[in-house]
């Protein structure tokens, strides 16, 4: 039976189709809006991220350069990579000029890269460079024994002999000029004549530790910092497994009372108190020195760098004989880079 209006009612399926079309259209519009908004925001985000990566790469490059220079000790590594923050710094030094036999000008280049996991093939990259002076063999050969104690006196087998026990045939530069026998703050004396020999036999440095540090050009505060890496710390290398001309840096944190036997640059951060079995070739740098020392040293001894020595009078029973070749070799291991002021610059 037809309804009174005479209209045939639309089927339920056709009504649903109209609403569905509207809904789909609206959903499409919303999707387009969302996609456009996402594109806008993501492109801004990408710009910001790339800018941030570039800034981080610059910071990484600078940090790598500073670290390389700060940690330089001995022979310079060709290329060194550091993982710093979110990036990698690759540092490459280049020798440019020999100012003299002890000072060279180097260029240090550091490339910082920060990789984005979304574009690993195109990392942010910044390069900085700087000039540095390479201080080779920084410690001058002043005296066979330098102590900041008020008085130094030989005793027993103690000797401080400043004439070179090496000859020109032992190494380039061997057979060096005779250096001072011993230096102390107020007084130097010998138990037996000829215990102390040199040119002059001895000298007084009233300035103590600060005068010594000013003269020997060694970075004592850095070398004794436990965070500063050295080749060997609180242990000796196996000398039979390293080249015979290798004189490594060995650091002992605290007092040194062991009968060490070896060669190199020995750094004792606190008291140097060697027993009679101590036998070393090279350089000994010590924060303090005991009032009575023993053993043998072929090289030079510099002690009392921490400040006024706790013992006013030191009885030197260590037999110290200046060997220029051993001192040269150990000194080479203490070489370091020093940045020239006003020279760090960005190169890209």
Partner 1 sequence: MVLSSFVLALATHAFLVQNQLYSLQTVRVGVQDAARASTELVAREVRNVPRGGLVVAGRRTLTVRTPMALSTVCYRQGSPDADVFSEGGEDGLEVGAVAGVAMRNDSTWDYQSSTWAALDGGDGSSAANCAATGADTVGARGAFHRLLDLDNLFTGGAAEGDVIMIYRETTFTIATSLLEPTGLALFRADYGAAAVEFATGLDTTSHFEYRTSVGTYVDTVTAASLSAVDAVRIVVDSRGPAVTGGAQEVLFGWGVNVPLRTVRSEGN
Given the rule CB under 8 A, which residues bind partner 1?
22, 25-26, 29, 33, 36-37, 40, 44, 51, 94-99, 104-105, 107, 109, 127, 129-131, 339-347
Q: What is the CA radius of gyration of the chain?
A: 35
Q: How far is CA 22 from CA 28, 36, 80, in A?
A: 10, 21, 65
Minimum distance of partner 1 from residue 47's CB (angstroms): 8
Minimum distance of partner 1 from residue 131's CB (angstroms): 6
Q: How far is CA 99 from CA 102, 108, 115, 135, 340, in A?
A: 8, 17, 39, 10, 14
Supply angle C-alpha 239, 246, 179, rounded to 5: 115
Minimum distance of partner 1 from residue 124's CB (angstroms): 14
Q: How far is CA 3 from CA 6, 7, 13, 14, 98, in A?
A: 5, 7, 20, 19, 112
Whole-angstrom distance, CA of residue 275 vs CA of residue 22: 98
- Comparing CB distances to partner 1, the nearer of 43 and 194 is 43
* Alpha-carbon torsion (96, 100, 101, 105), positive or negative: negative
Select from 71, 66, 73, 110 the least CA-distant residue to 91.
Answer: 110
- Comparing CB distances to partner 1, the nearer of 96 and 122 is 96
Minimum distance of partner 1 from residue 21's CB (angstroms): 10
- Comparing CB distances to partner 1, the nearer of 2 and 14 is 14
Minimum distance of partner 1 from residue 155's CB (angstroms): 46
- Comparing CB distances to partner 1, the nearer of 109 and 263 is 109
Select from 303, 316, 300 the least CA-distant residue to 264.
Answer: 300
Minimum distance of partner 1 from residue 29's CB (angstroms): 6
Minimum distance of partner 1 from residue 90's CB (angstroms): 14
Minimum distance of partner 1 from residue 342's CB (angstroms): 4
- Comparing CB distances to partner 1, the nearer of 112 and 248 is 112
- Comparing CB distances to partner 1, the nearer of 60 and 249 is 60
Minimum distance of partner 1 from residue 53's CB (angstroms): 14
- Comparing CB distances to partner 1, the nearer of 37 and 226 is 37
- Comparing CB distances to partner 1, the nearer of 88 and 130 is 130
Please, which residues bridge with residue 337 across strands?
134
Q: Are 337 and 76 in contact (CB under 8 A)?
A: yes
> Mind spelling out the 3-state secondary structure of 186-232?
CEEECCCCCCEECCCCEEECCCHHHHHHHHHCCCHHHHCCCCCCCCE
Q: Are 220 and 285 in contact (CB under 8 A)?
A: yes
Whole-angstrom distance, CA of residue 282 vs CA of residue 237: 15
279-293 residues labelled b (16+ CB within 10 A) or e (exposed):
bbbbbbbbbbbbebb
Whole-angstrom distance, CA of residue 127 vs CA of residue 313: 54
- Comparing CB distances to partner 1, the nearer of 131 and 228 is 131
């Amino acid at each position: 039976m037809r309804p009174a209006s005479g209209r045939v009612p639309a089927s339920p399926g056709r009504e649903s189709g109209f609403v569905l079309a509207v809904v789909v259209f609206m959903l499409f519009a919303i999707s387009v809006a969302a996609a456009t908004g996402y594109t806008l925001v993501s492109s801004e985000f990408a710009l910001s991220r790339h800018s941030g990566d570039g800034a981080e790469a610059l910071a990484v490059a600078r940090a790598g350069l500073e670290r390389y220079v700060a940690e330089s000790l001995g022979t310079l590594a060709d290329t060194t990579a550091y993982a710093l923050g979110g990036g990698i710094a690759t540092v490459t030094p280049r020798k440019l000029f020999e100012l003299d036999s002890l000072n060279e000008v180097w260029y240090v280049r550091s490339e910082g890269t920060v990789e984005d996991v979304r574009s690993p093939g195109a990392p942010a990259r910044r390069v900085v460079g700087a000039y540095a002076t390479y201080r080779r063999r920084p410690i001058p050969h002043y005296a066979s024994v330098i102590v900041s104690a008020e008085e130094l006196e030989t005793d027993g087998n103690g000797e401080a002999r400043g004439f070179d026990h090496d000859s020109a045939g032992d190494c380039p530069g061997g057979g060096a000029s005779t250096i001072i026998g011993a230096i102390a703050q107020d007084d130097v004396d010998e138990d037996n004549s000829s215990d102390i020999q040199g040119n002059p036999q001895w000298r007084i440095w009233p300035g103590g530790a600060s005068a010594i540090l000013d003269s020997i050009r060694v970075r004592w505060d850095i070398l004794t910092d436990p965070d500063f890496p050295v080749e060997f710390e609180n242990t000796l290398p196996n000398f039979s497994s390293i080249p015979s001309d290798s004189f490594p840096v060995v650091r002992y944190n605290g007092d040194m009372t062991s009968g060490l036997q070896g060669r190199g640059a020995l750094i004792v951060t606190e008291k140097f108190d060697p027993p009679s079995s101590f036998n070393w070739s090279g350089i000994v740098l010590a924060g303090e020195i005991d009032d009575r020392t023993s053993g043998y040293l072929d090289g030079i001894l510099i002690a009392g760098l921490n400040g006024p020595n706790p013992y006013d009078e030191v009885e030197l029973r260590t037999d110290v004989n200046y060997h220029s070749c051993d001192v040269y070799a150990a000194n080479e291991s203490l070489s370091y880079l020093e940045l020239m002021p006003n020279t760090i610059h960005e190169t890209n």
